[in-house]
Structure 1
Amino acid sequence: MNEKEYYNLIKPYEDAMQMLLSRLDTLNHTLYESSATHPVPIHNIQSRIKSKKSIEDKLIKKEKKPSMTNAKNFLMDIAGARVICYFVNDIYNLIEILKSQTDLIVMKERDYIAGPKPNG
């Protein structure tokens, strides 16, 4: 995959990430109606787009040719966001609100609170 193909590949992921980050920011400020008893639920949001090298390495690991088509077809983590909330209850509330959004589709969900990864 050359540089131009990589940038063509990640552009829709960057756009989707910006839309999601804007949605999360809006939810953060409206979730509890800015009540004095309930401050904003989100402490921090981290996001990333996988690098060209990381995409190619992961495709090779999956025994696929590093191409734009294979990246779209076989990788589910080209873009990623991590939302850190102050309280566990806020996490579950935010998840339910996001899942109720008609223009978002949950592709895969893992609950690392109920089932932590072995590495902690």
Structure 2
Amino acid sequence: MTGLLSLRSSDGGRDLTRFLMSYKFGIDEMMTKINILKDEFTYIHEYTPIEHVKSRLKSADSVLGKAARKGIPLTLDSIRDNIHDIAGIRITCSFIQDAYRISDLLTGQQDITLIEVKDYIAEPKPNGYRSLHLIVEVPVFMSDRVESVRVEIQIRTVAMDFWASLEHKIFYKYDKAVPAALLDELKDAADVARNLDVKMEALHDEVREHGAALHVIASVE
């Protein structure tokens, strides 16, 4: 409680505000990188693997509440070391292979450090949830120092995102006490979404191969 009061005091509040600002700037840095990739693919390759991008920054109350629930000491250093989803970005793609491609392109950049990967696409959660989760560290250049800020990036297909959004709404509606029958239906829906992803990717590959074959024929003629 003492730590919480300290962070909410006048001086502590200013420190917490500046602390959270560094995460906002971390989001800004990553969003610039993502938008550059998106624009490059659009104008040069005439195709972009990125459909939508959303970002969010946890509020001070949310950060402090999570720290308290997890028993993390209420200091900025402890929060920085133990809570890695203060800054979050969600990238939505058309196809599964795009998720891995974007991951490789981002983590391959020299100033980005990959901290952790959780591949829920290859190994879905028991409830059917699928997504590729990355924790990356990006430098943020402040007026008096350079901060290494951690950002959580979730990369998923449109089908995965639709399922996750629906699941979230259902859990909110039932206050997390979702009936077992409905949980089974959600798991079945996750399997349907997975099969749709696989089918659409196969169709995409078939169309791409057909286009490549036509290009070869045209060049020969």
TM-score, normalization by structure 1? 0.86
Specify every segment of 5 or more residues in structure 2 that has no aligned partner in the other structure, as ranges: 1-6, 130-221
Which has more helix, going by share of residues? Answer: 2
Aligned equivalent of 2:57 = 49
Q: Is the 8 A contact 2:52 2:92 kept in 1?
A: yes
Query: Which has the larger Rg?
Result: 2
Q: Which amino acid aligns with 1:44?
A: H
What TM-score, normalized to structure 2?
Answer: 0.49
Which stretch of the first structure deviates more once superposed, 60-69 or 88-97? 60-69
Determine what percentage of the aligned residue pairs are the same residue.
Answer: 26
- Residues 16 and 76 in structure 2, CA contact (< 8 A), matched pair in contact too: yes
Deviations 1:29-63 (A, max 9, x none): 22375334xx2211111111111111111111221
RMSD: 1.7
Look up the match of 1:72.
Answer: 80
Task: Name 2:120's counterpart in structure 1.
Answer: 112
Instruction: Report the CA distance between 1:25 and its aligned residue.
Output: 0.5
Quick check: 1:44–1:83 contact (8 Å CA) kept in 2?
yes
Aligned residues: 118
* One of 8, 13, 17 as aligned partner of 1:7: 17
Amino acid at match of 1:11: M
Superposed structure 1 runs of 4+ greater than 6 Å apart:
none
| Counterpart code for 2:100 | Y
Q: Give 1:31's aligned residue.
A: 41
**2:93 corresponding residue in structure 1:** 85
Distance 1:73 1:35 in 2: 39
- Which residue identity is paired with 1:29? D
Could you list the runs of 5+ residues in structure 1 that have no partner in the other structure?
none
Alpha-carbon distance in 2 for matches of 1:33, 1:115: 34
Structure with more of its chain in strand, by fraction? 2
Distance 1:73-1:35 versus aligned 2 partners, 3 A rule: closer
Q: Distance in 2 between matches of 1:81 and 1:90?
A: 16
